[in-house]
Structure 1
């Protein structure tokens, strides 16, 4: 508590605390949402299995307009990335150094998850577990990595995309929305693969709005680059987003549900659709409407300390929350007390509260063990006036090499995570993860770690 109090007292006056609150709330809603809609049962072989309850609860589909909060995470990610990149350059640093440092907070907790899962899978295999069963368990535990792949692609694109924002402002997200519309048209008229580009265009559009929100802090910023942040603007965005959403889903061809439901004609979130961007617009409007009271509340020391504590381990919570479910299901099954009530029954609803509480306890234990890996990630100290930012010394002779290595490191990490996500859950993988995926990821993470240590920064 003393440490949190000190951090709260040292918070710069200009820090946008509301962004930190939104990040923590978004991840908390994802975790509770995943846990809350989970249905546990047994397959024909008598093994525990799980799936989403949304397919059996169509009345709950409009609730996903609030529960689908990944746009909020990309919005605050754009704000935070613009803020940190701008601060880095103000201290004399460059984009490559920023990118290398930015990787630490994302990659280190992810590496911990993958290494632990691989070791646990290897032990299970040595004890005679079936390779297909191992893969199924690991596949479920690594579902959160689908989202991380998209974000890890967006982060290295921040310097060029922020440069585009500074030149063209809000025209950039509008163009990206147009590209999403073309992708949607392609998958509505033809194969779903025609919308693959929407994975990039959709999340980049929301990320760009984060840039515009950051630039709105300064009245000297050209209007084309500033997001309107008044209550009136919030009301217009909320109403406009909801109207567009109703027209696209109730009248148009898009599903009402914003999360994956097998059998629906398309998935609004994978890849992002126009309907999901309408949700993002409505959510942005609500965020703007609530910002004034939220900022007043966060000026109090107590609430701000809670936000600091949550954000120090927020990625760890996100990465491990389905592993917590795997562990709890395995434990309850082992002792023969795993409840499997029918979806929508009174017993199923009654089980939601103890189920969430038990999962929270398991996750708390995992965060206590692995949270320090994220919380103790070293961040570069601010440079003194007249000095270069940390990690930039001697880079004049090798800036291109460092940039290529940094991009290659991110590419290896993304390739590894993407290959794991694309590998079917019933594949026989003794390590739970495809070996090429693990090698690619660890190689990329290793390169980024070497660059953060200063390797390659001197010619």
Structure 2
């Protein structure tokens, strides 16, 4: 607690604390949402299985206009990435070393999860657990990885997209929104849906991420003339697109729908992003005043220090609890949406909070250490160091490594939910991920990090796991 208090006290007055609060809230809502709608039971063969309760709760669909917080997270990510890239450049860095550091902070805690799941799958196979059940367990625990694959692609493109934002501003968002609309039309018509529709995975998240750039640059002040049109216009667009239009009401994917709003992002999700943006801008000034108080800010700092760990391991908590209750023959299986099912949600959530707290206590320190680049390795041959620090090698290897990591994560997310995988996930994808992660770590630990200055590990005060400089400086009036 003392270290946490000191970290909070070192926060510079210029930092926009609201961004940190929104990140913490978004990830917390994701975890609670997944836990609430998770249904664990038994299939016809008596084996554990799981599915989403959302299909049985249609009255919840409008609530997902607020509960689907991935748009909010990407907006906050755009703000943070723009601020981080600008700060890195001021220190003499370039986009390549920024990408190495930014992606490395995400990859190291993720690698821990991947390796633990692989080890668990191997142990399960050794003790006689069937391959189908092993794969399903890994699939459940690795649900958060689909998001990281999308976010890493956005980070990879951030230097290019931020330059486009600086030159063309809102026109970039407009072009990306038009591309999303074309993808939606292709999906609705069934013509070329596999190509154009899949492009929305990129265009949709990029469009939302660009909005964070505008916020960082002061183009979204928290004034009624800004947030009122966003709030009202976004809500009106949501009603027109979903209630009157062809889009599902739920912003969270529901099995059986002709069109999904989140996989890939649709115009409906973009409308929800506009609505949510108006809401957070409306609450911005009072929230900033509240966060000037010591205790609320310490809580935000504490959550943000391990926020990625919370996100990565929250579905593993579900898996562990289900396995434990099954082993004790104490797993309740009430029918979804009945009073008994809702009563079961309370102890279910409390148990998951305790399990996740234990997981964070064990693995959270890995996220804290990932903020700093690894210490330079003195074992590398001089010729390899010279090769890695050339500009061409730095660009090529960094892009290739991030691409391999994304490909590995996607291979697991796109693989069938059940199947026979020795490691619980496709071996080729696992190999691609591990190679990419190893190359990123090698690049980060190369002396001088590609001949570009980086902050020395431990240099300067840290807030929410990042240097407490001007990274989240509150912009002036637009």
Flag whether TM exceeds 0.5 (same fold). yes
- State the alpha-carbon separation in 2 of the partners of residues 144 and 58 from structure 1: 24
Alignment of 1:18-29 (within 5 A): 18-29=18-29
Alignment of 1:365-380 (within 5 A): 365-379=358-372
- Residue 10 of structure 1: CA displacement? 1.1
Q: Is the counterpart of residue 291 in structure 1 residue 316 in structure 2?
A: no
More displaced 10-residue stretch of structure 1: 150-159 or 12-21: 12-21
Structure 1 consecutive aligned stretches of length 4 or more whose deviation exceeds 3 Å: 378-381, 393-397
Partner of 2:435: 443
- State the alpha-carbon separation in 1 of the partners of residues 265 and 371 from structure 2: 34
Partner of 2:159: 159
Partner of 2:476: none
**Aligned partners of 1:108 and 1:373 also within 8 Å:** yes
Partner of 2:79: 79
**Aligned partners of 1:183 and 1:196 also within 8 Å:** yes
**Aligned partners of 1:255 and 1:264 also within 8 Å:** yes
> Counterpart of 1:445 in 2: which secondary structure?
helix
RMSD: 1.7
Partner of 1:411: 403
- State the alpha-carbon separation in 2 of the partners of residues 233 and 339 from structure 1: 49
Mark the runs of 5 or more structure 2 residues left unpaired by the alignment: 375-384, 453-478
- Residue 15 of structure 1: CA displacement? 1.4
Alignment of 1:84-103 (within 5 A): 84-103=84-103
Alignment of 1:120-159 (within 5 A): 120-159=120-159
Partner of 2:58: 58
- State the alpha-carbon separation in 2 of the partners of residues 427 and 400 from structure 1: 41
Partner of 2:217: 215
Mark the runs of 5 or more structure 1 residues left unpaired by the alignment: 217-225, 382-392
**Aligned partners of 1:395 and 1:457 also within 8 Å:** no
- State the alpha-carbon separation in 2 of the partners of residues 380 and 152 from structure 1: 18
Partner of 1:423: 415
> Counterpart of 2:370 in 1: which secondary structure?
coil
Alignment of 1:372-411 (within 5 A): 372-379=365-372, 398-411=390-403
**Aligned partners of 1:254 and 1:266 also within 8 Å:** yes
> Counterpart of 2:39 in 1: which secondary structure?
strand
**Aligned partners of 1:394 and 1:458 also within 8 Å:** no
- State the alpha-carbon separation in 1 of the partners of residues 165 and 11 from structure 2: 28
**Aligned partners of 2:412 and 2:429 also within 8 Å:** yes
Partner of 1:277: 270
Partner of 1:259: 252
Partner of 1:201: 203
**Aligned partners of 1:146 and 1:421 also within 8 Å:** yes
- State the alpha-carbon separation in 2 of the partners of residues 104 and 380 from structure 1: 8
- Residue 91 of structure 1: CA displacement? 1.3
Partner of 2:304: 311
- State the alpha-carbon separation in 2 of the partners of residues 394 and 15 from structure 1: 38
Partner of 1:41: 41
TM-score, reference length from structure 2: 0.89
- Residue 290 of structure 1: CA displacement? 0.1
